[in-house]
Amino acid sequence: MKKIINTEKAPKAIGPYSQAVEFNGMLFISGQVPVNPETGTIPEGITAQTEQVMKNIEAILNEAGYSFENVIKSTCLLSDMENFKAMNEVYGKYYPKNPPARAAFSVKGLPLNVLVEIETIAAK
């Protein structure tokens, strides 16, 4: 049976989707954009935006009883591949050992004109 996961410590969904869904010991986190859930603001620059995205993911993981160690797959969407190196540096700090499988793509546009969005799958 699926369980919907929501937390006030991550941005509210801006469409008809859940922050995350847990099913059979797996957690599927919707793509997170760099909105600060306390202020509703978006930080400037790829480094700050990636940091905020990772904090949002962490809040959802924690709410569901998971951690970054449980993450098995990430998909990173970038507005420009020129931002890949800076995004990767921040992202890597959250996975110092045994990082998950990952894909990274450049896309034409992201919600709210942000520079990065990251979707995450975790398992227990």
Q: Which amino acid is at 68?
A: F
Mean pLDDT of the chain: 97
Domains of the chain: 3-123 (3.30.1330.40)
Q: Specify the pLDDT at position 35.
A: 98
How does strand 26-32 pair with strand 101-106? unpaired
pLDDT tens column, 21-75: 999 999 999 999 999 999 999 999 999 999 999 999 999 999 999 999 999 999 9
Give the DSSP per-residue string, 42-68. --SSHHHHHHHHHHHHHHHHHHHT--G
Nearest Cα residue to 4 out of 17, 22, 28, 31: 22
What's the per-residue H, E or C state across 76-108? EEECCHHHHHHHHHHHHHCCCCCCCEEEEEECC
| Phi, then psi, of 80 in degrees rounded to 5 | -155, 130
Provide the pairing of β-strand 71-78 with 101-106.
Answer: parallel
What average pLDDT does the segment 102-115 reach?
Answer: 96
Residue 14 above 90 pLDDT? no
Percent of the chain at pLDDT > 70 equals: 100
